[in-house]
């Protein structure tokens, strides 16, 4: 760990015990750091433990071995430093979009005089400035996911955890959200851990692609993606991009992608 390290995952293991007493070790010896402001994509076969890893980093799932440190401190102390976005936006239908964004501050009792302005500023950042008073049922899937991203960012988290955030969107919306999240991340200045089933999405977005594999799950590859930023469409058709996709595929153990 150095002064730029946002998060350290130190030799983490997670086991579950079934009702009949069997132990299922899902993760073992998971060890990696994320630098402040880095975008790290996580890929791996289904059931390899990617969601379990994100939950453990967020503190929702206790590690049975090792530890997770956020800026050098145990996660329990720094839980407000983390924002989460899931595949489903899970917005409360009786609250308008602005009130949904403000929700984490109300839960934590940290809503202050500037909160509303901050929430409005985030909605404007994701292109929803005119939708603050609208309700989730009035928005498209991509717009709902942008509100969920604002809700995750409203506490100025050090780390944004995203678990297949665009998995439920149609291909064209997903494509535009890929551009959006790149812009949002650069503006927000936080670190991102981004789980996806799409290898090309992982490569296109990531500073690194971390591959989880094996039984129990561990990190089988950690590949630095040395493509220029900001990334645009032409990078997806470059030889370098194709090379990275092929390298990630070889570590996952598939030849035709995983979704
Ligand atoms: N609370 C739990 N209790 C028992 N087993 C669990 C629990 N949570 C996850 N598991 C098991 O851990 C393994 C990894 O699950 P996880 O959801 O982390 O995988 P994943 O890589 O995210 O999968 P996918 O790509 O399909 O979403 C699975 O076998 C799952 O059944």
Q: Could you tell me if the CB of 52 is within 6 A of ligand 1?
A: yes
- Does 28 fall in a domain? no
Please spell the DSSP secondary structure of 154-204, one letter per residue.
Answer: TT--SEEEEESTTTTS-HHHHHHHHHHHHHHHHHH--EEEEE-S-HHHHHH
- Does 144 fall in a domain? yes
Range of the domain at 89: 37-59+79-252
Q: Give me the CATH number covering residue 105.
A: 3.40.50.300
| Strand-pair partners of 82 | 159
Residue range 148-179, pLDDT digits in tens: 999 999 988 889 999 999 888 888 888 888 98
Query: Mutation test of ligand 1: which of 27, 47, 50 has the most ligand atoms closer than 8 Å to its C-beta?
Result: 47
- Does 91 fall in a domain? yes
Q: Does the pLDDT at position 102 exceed 70?
A: yes
- Does 14 fall in a domain? no
Q: Does the pLDDT at position 235 exceed 90?
A: no
- Does 1 fall in a domain? no
pTM over 0.95: no
Complex ipTM: 0.97
Ligand 1 mean position, distance from CA 48 (Å): 7
Q: By the 8 A CB rule, do 143 and 97 touch?
A: no
Q: How many distinct structural domains can be found in the chain?
A: 1
Q: What count of Cα atoms within 13 Å lies in the side-chain half-sphere of residue 84?
A: 18
- Does 113 fall in a domain? yes
The mean pLDDT of the chain is 90
- Does 228 fall in a domain? yes
Ligand 1 mean position, distance from CA 70 (Å): 23
- Does 13 fall in a domain? no
């Amino acid at each position: 760990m150095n002064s730029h390290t946002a998060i350290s995952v130190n030799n983490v293991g997670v086991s579950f015990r079934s009702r009949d007493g069997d132990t299922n070790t899902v993760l073992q010896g998971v060890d990696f750091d994320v630098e402040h402001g880095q975008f790290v994509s996580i890929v791996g076969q289904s059931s390899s433990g990617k969601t379990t890893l994100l939950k453990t980093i967020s503190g929702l799932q206790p590690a049975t071995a090792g530890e997770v440190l956020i800026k050098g401190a145990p996660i329990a102390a720094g839980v407000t430093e983390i924002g989460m976005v899931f595949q489903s936006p899970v917005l409360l239908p009786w609250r308008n979009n602005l009130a949904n964004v403000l929700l984490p501050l109300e839960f934590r009792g940290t809503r202050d005089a500037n909160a509303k302005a901050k929430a409005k500023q985030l909605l404007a950042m994701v292109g929803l400035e005119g939708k603050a008073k609208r309700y989730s049922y009035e928005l498209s899937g991509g717009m709902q996911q942008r509100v969920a991203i604002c809700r995750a960012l409203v506490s100025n988290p050090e780390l944004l955890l995203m678990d297949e955030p665009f998995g439920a969107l149609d291909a064209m919306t997903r494509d535009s959200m890929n551009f959006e999240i790149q812009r949002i991340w650069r503006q927000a200045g936080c670190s991102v851990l981004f789980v996806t089933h799409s290898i090309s999405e992982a490569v296109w977005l990531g500073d690194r692609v971390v591959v989880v594999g094996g039984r129990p799950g561990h990190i089988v590859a950690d590949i630095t993606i040395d493509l220029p930023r900001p990334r645009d469409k032409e990078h997806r058709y470059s030889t370098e991009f194709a090379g990275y996709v092929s390298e990630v595929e070889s570590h996952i153990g598939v030849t035709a992608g995983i979704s």
